[in-house]
Structure 1
Amino acid sequence: MTTPDVFEPARLGPLTLRNRTIKAATFEGMTKGALVTDDLVEFHRAHAAGGVAMTSVAYCAVAPDGRTEYDQLHWRPEALPGLRRLTDAVHAEGAAASAQIGHAGPVANGRSNGVPSIAPVRMFNPMSMQMTRAATRADIERVTKAHANAALMAIEAGFDAVEIHLGHNYFASSFLSPKINKRTDEYGGSLANRAKVALGAARAVREAVGDRIAILAKLNMDDGVPGGFWLDESIRVAKWLEEEGSVDALELTAGSSLLNPMYLFRGDAPVREFAATFRQPLKLGVRLVGDRFIREYPYEEAYLLDGARQFRAALDLPLVLLGGVTERATMDRAMAEGFQFVAMGRALLREPDLIDRIQADASTKSLCIHCNKCMPTIFSGTHCVLA
């Protein structure tokens, strides 16, 4: 087969995107009052103007108790006018807009949200320093239905796609993980049982929206912790998603927001900068023992490619390669190996116009140095501290 050019138009479900680059969902911290702000609109407009085919709004919780903190956007009628303003701004620049939808589960901050976070089992939540509540069958049904409702509201708000969050030990991902999910009912034990929440959410979204918008899922390849979700099981879940036809593409990710967040990001571990965002005594605690949680992994281009190759070999479903995509050679390599799209995060925080610059000059190098000091800025408005 002819290797596609990353800058050629491409089909994604019912969409035709202007090229094969996607701005990955990176939590923006720009939703005061859980509503769209001018800063959030400008953030995504700038990425659209910089050349990406689609920009992903993160993270849009499907329910109030699914927020990682109180100011995080969640789907409700009051949020729709602002979201429509955002999608209009993105469309005016010639790009598509995707909404990342999901429920944070054990990653939700129950203390900030004013309601307990839910998880497969009762467990300690380091985000709120509280215990989670074990999700009931009614909770699972509620969250599943909320995914469908969120997708319908995304259509109303003008989004071209939704990205279902099945990674990072958020609600669906925590059920997939054998390290976290110790249930003994029909949602625990075997992989088929542990996958019911993830498959159910994707199925509910497809049934609700049909092919009116594109549906992606962000799926953990592995949790990055011993005893966690791993490639062999993840590939089986990916095959089930493909067989059911519930998603148009998979974006492959890794790591646990609960147990090992830096496994996804690679590069420097900004422990001191994270500590500075907290009040005492948590600030002191992060400075003293934060390196046990915020671990450092060396950066290399396309650092998730080895794992992603195994999915490419096993699936016909379109795949989005994420992780260490910063230059034209990496994009071309992804296309040559059968990936339909590439997703970029930190490099575009540094240079929102990087895609246009790479298209104009294939030798362009990203200015991102992978210091990860952008990560603690999620508490004050995500940005590159060096830009």
Structure 2
Amino acid sequence: MTVDPFAPAALGPLRPRNRLIKCATFEGRTPDALVTDELIDFHREVAAGGVGISTVAYCAVSGEGRTDRHQIHLRDEAADGLRRLSDAIHSEGALAAAQLGHAGPVANSISNRAAALGPGRIPAPMGMALTKALDADGIATLTRAFADAARLAVDCGFDALEVHCGHNYLLSSFLSPLLNHRRDGYGRTVEGRARLAREVLEAVRDAVGDQVAVWAKLSMFDGVGTPGRGRGGHPWNGLNIDQACATARLFEADGYLDAIEPTAGSSLLNPMYLFHGEPPRAEFAGAFHGAMRAGLKAAGPVFLRYYPYRDAYLLPLARELRRSVSMPLILLGGITDRASMQTALDEGFDFVAMGRALLREPDLPLRIRADPTTASRCVHCNLCMPTIYSTTRCPIRAGEVPDPL
């Protein structure tokens, strides 16, 4: 039987109005690490555009867990704004999700005025420093921080939580054999490298109970080495699909999650593997100053690689995950029209997530529902990527004359 992407569907205890999720993409609208009217307007517009769930991105569980000091830090001071934000999303008929994360080696220690954290002493290039290795006390503190942040988000009206285990953020850096060289119980094997994420997921679920949905964004491939099977032991390989499938099976057996959102690429090592399409090298370098700008100009062809865009481009890897677990999965990457939505659902994925296409057209879901032949206006130029350092937007849309009413 064909599954309708626009029909209500169950996600844990929730029943969003459809199977479309606005994925977490940093909005660049929190200069003081607090919710602003601009952030509320951004999510209100997306919710009014027809998604079932709108995900607020980069809600850091601690101050040093931000990629820089301009991101939301989940603390009591942020509560009033978070309530206004969830209320605004609800007012448009959508549910509100918060992405809980810790940037780890992706954090800018200079901006945050705090050391970046990692599984060991590894480069944290945004702060031009090495990470501080988490010890037992640090792991306990981190786990409590995730639990406290989860409880705060739910108390502020959020219906769902996404725990960020992707893109070589802290939990993902522990999962990566390239980055995690620990010899204790948090390293060495797939089970050891997954231990921190599993403990965090348990703490989050214990903190919020079963009245909200919890899913994890899980990397399938870091974009370093080979994504394929049988090569996971090579010293220059990051996380590969074999290891990701094994981690997903552990997550499923633990029972703390309602879904997994497979992703790929690394904010630390290879961001374009997540995005695909044209790499905006000059614009990306132009968003920085000094040594970072010079470094990005020199390393642009290596750091920002070109991967041809195609619809549902993460589907080949995600199929492997789909065969490995029976729990609900959310397909991300190149979902821009009714055909790609239908392909995902027909192959057993339960929800689809949209990102760049909604920057271009926040009302794209409503337009596709009204006319299934509607094509997205997103051209996959990725010029939106460097705008996360100011105000995240589609530059093409920003330069257009609005359609007459």
TM-score strictly above 0.5: yes
Q: Is 1:31 equivalent to 2:30 in the alignment?
A: yes
Q: Is 1:331 equivalent to 2:348 in the alignment?
A: no
Shift of 1:3: 2.7
| One-letter amino acid of the counterpart of residue 63, structure 1 | S
| One-letter amino acid of the counterpart of residue 322, structure 1 | L
1 CA distance for matches of 2:272 and 2:299? 15
2 CA distance for matches of 1:309 and 1:124? 32
Provide Cα deviations, 1:349-373, integer angstroms capped at 9, x if missing partner. 0000000000000000000000000
Shift of 1:300: 0.5
Provide Cα deviations, 1:11-50, integer angstroms capped at 9, x if missing partner. 1111110000000100111111100011100110000000
1 CA distance for matches of 2:221 and 2:158? 29
Q: Is 1:369 equivalent to 2:379 in the alignment?
A: yes
1:6 corresponds to which residue? 5
| One-letter amino acid of the counterpart of residue 296, structure 2 | V
1:51 corresponds to which residue? 50
2:62 corresponds to which residue? 63
Shift of 1:275: 1.3
SS across alignment from 1:278: coil
The match for 1:356 among 366, 377, 388 is 366
Q: Is 1:228 equivalent to 2:238 in the alignment?
A: yes
2:234 corresponds to which residue? none
Shift of 1:70: 0.7
Provide Cα deviations, 1:229-259, integer angstroms capped at 9, x if missing partner. 1111111111111111110011010011111
2 CA distance for matches of 1:284 and 1:63? 30
Number of aligned residue pairs = 386
Structure 1: unaligned runs, 5 residues or longer: none
Shift of 1:279: 1.5
Shift of 1:280: 2.6
2 CA distance for matches of 1:130 and 1:313? 40
1:170 corresponds to which residue? 169
| One-letter amino acid of the counterpart of residue 87, structure 1 | S
1:219 corresponds to which residue? 218
Shift of 1:66: 0.5
| One-letter amino acid of the counterpart of residue 113, structure 2 | G
1:249 corresponds to which residue? 259
2:156 corresponds to which residue? 157
Shift of 1:137: 1.3
**TM-score of the superposed pair, with normalisation by structure 2:** 0.94
Shift of 1:102: 1.3
1:116-127 equivalences under 5 Å are 116-127=115-126
Shift of 1:156: 1.0
2:194 corresponds to which residue? 195
2 CA distance for matches of 1:117 and 1:288? 24
Shift of 1:146: 1.0
1:267-286 equivalences under 5 Å are 267-286=277-296
Shift of 1:69: 0.1
Shift of 1:92: 0.4
2:326 corresponds to which residue? 316
1:21 corresponds to which residue? 20
Provide Cα deviations, 1:114-136, integer angstroms capped at 9, x if missing partner. 01101111122111111111111
SS across alignment from 1:127: helix
Bigger Cα displacement from structure 2, 206-215 vs 354-363: 206-215
Structure 2: unaligned runs, 5 residues or longer: 226-236, 398-405
| One-letter amino acid of the counterpart of residue 390, structure 2 | S
1 CA distance for matches of 2:189 and 2:197? 14
Provide Cα deviations, 1:171-201, integer angstroms capped at 9, x if missing partner. 1100010000011111110111111011111
1 CA distance for matches of 2:285 and 2:255? 44
Identical-pair percentage:
55
Q: Is 1:136 equivalent to 2:135 in the alignment?
A: yes
**TM-score of the superposed pair, with normalisation by structure 1:** 0.98
2 CA distance for matches of 1:196 and 1:278? 35
